[in-house]
Amino acid sequence: MSMLWRELGHGEQIDFQIRHAEPMLGEDARLSFHSQIWQGIEWRHDLILVKPSWSAGVEGAYLEITGDDVGQADVDYARDLAEISGVPVVVLFSIPNQPLWEMREDDLIAHTFEKFIESGDQSWPLLVPMVRAANRGLEIARSEFGIDKFVAGGGSKRGWTSWLLAASRPDGLQGIVPIVFDNLGMAQQVHRQIDLWGTPSEQIEDYTRRQLHELAINEEGKELVQIVDPLIHIADSEVPALIINGANDPYWAVDALTHYYRDLPGQSSQVVVPNLPHALGERNFWGPGFARFVQAMLSDQEFSVPNFHSFYQTAQSESLTLEWSCHYDACATHIWAAESDDLLFTESQWQKQESCPGGHRGEVVFDQADKNRAYLLEVEFKDDDGFWRLTSPAFIIKKR
């Protein structure tokens, strides 16, 4: 299926109409360009470059895909990422161009899904022009900034875009960082939300009021799912991913990642951040791991990834055993836990319960309790630059 996005994700070559502009908000370079005409609408974007004050000694850059227009907060965030990683950061704006037809974000995406169902035209799903624009952002960063290798990422819908960008196999893409998009294996995710809560998440109302969640689990929606569900494409992408999710994100079941993390390309891993909703939050928890991942991908070095193997002791999910192992010594592991009466966990307070020695491998058993609990395991590493961490997915153990 990856051939589908190799075609959909690039489109026809066009005149980018590149225009350089004076930096205005502290960035090091700025330009604008035209990426495409989609459904009769011209898409335009800004692209900025922010350089760090120090260098990690690797060639390449991180491409941050974001929405809306250039703002000071975006430049400041890019500066933070550059300083954390020691790598230049390129920021691509207006993915997607919006509002369109007086709609934005999920409302707009859901509308274009309806248009695809009506017409069968594969160019209609909004993820198609979003990925094409990201590919053109990479091309222009290469030609105008002289950058040949990239790790690309973004949050929410831009995290979704990152997965499909990898499926399109652009030259020089070494890795992706999808942030707070935990919806791979869409049919299974819908089933899981209904199993836990009796209904899909309130946060995806733009889709459910159009009955699009039903299309994810029946034959009528099969063709749409085959286009937009990243899980169908990642096996062939071979592009490693560092997933950054919030453990309190109301969009997804807290254990959504458990349904697909075993299918990720090699050297992929995750940081599930305790007490983080559908947002980036403080970068202290995930920033150091982000930096190590970007540096490793751009330098073609091995990224130390813990392998997790989990299994419930009985069919009733009464307790769970989590085994972990990694090639390099971890300096410590930490167990995080949260409780919930309704299995939502969005308002739950995650607390660090126990710290254990590190090493190459270990095993943790999570037992059933009088309340619904979710657990995750933080694996902490130390190198010459300090401490950094990765985590397991979160796992649910229902109450007795």
What domains can you pick out in the chain, each with its CATH number?
A: 2-303 (3.40.50.1820), 307-400 (2.60.40.10)
pLDDT-derived band of residue 316, with 50, 70 and 90 as boundaries? low
Average pLDDT over residues 136-163: 98
Average pLDDT over residues 216-230: 93
Query: H or E segment at 207?
Result: helix 205-208
Percent of the chain having pLDDT more than 90? 89
d(C-alpha 82, C-alpha 294), whole Å: 11
Give the strand pairing for 319-340 and 351-367. antiparallel
pLDDT-derived band of residue 235, with 50, 70 and 90 as boundaries? confident
pLDDT-derived band of residue 239, with 50, 70 and 90 as boundaries? very high
Average pLDDT over residues 15-27: 96
Average pLDDT over residues 305-326: 86
Chain segment 27-69, per-residue pLDDT in tens: 999 999 999 999 999 999 999 999 999 999 999 999 999 999 9
Average pLDDT over residues 219-226: 92
- pLDDT value for 400: 83
Phi, psi of 201 (to 5 degrees): -55, 140
Average pLDDT over residues 10-36: 95
pLDDT-derived band of residue 217, with 50, 70 and 90 as boundaries? confident
| SS3 of residue 400 by DSSP | coil
Give the strand pairing for 150-155 and 173-179. parallel
Average pLDDT over residues 117-146: 98
For residue 239, which amino acid is it?
Answer: V
- pLDDT value for 2: 60
Query: What rounded mean pLDDT belongs to the chain?
Result: 95
The structure tokens listed for 69 are 């227009």
Average pLDDT over residues 174-192: 98
Chain segment 330-383, per-residue pLDDT in tens: 999 999 999 999 999 999 999 999 899 899 999 999 999 999 999 999 999 999
- pLDDT value for 112: 99
DSSP 244-270: EEETT-TTS-TTGGGGTGGGSPTT-EE
Percent of the chain having pLDDT more than 70? 98
The structure tokens listed for 257 are 């990642």
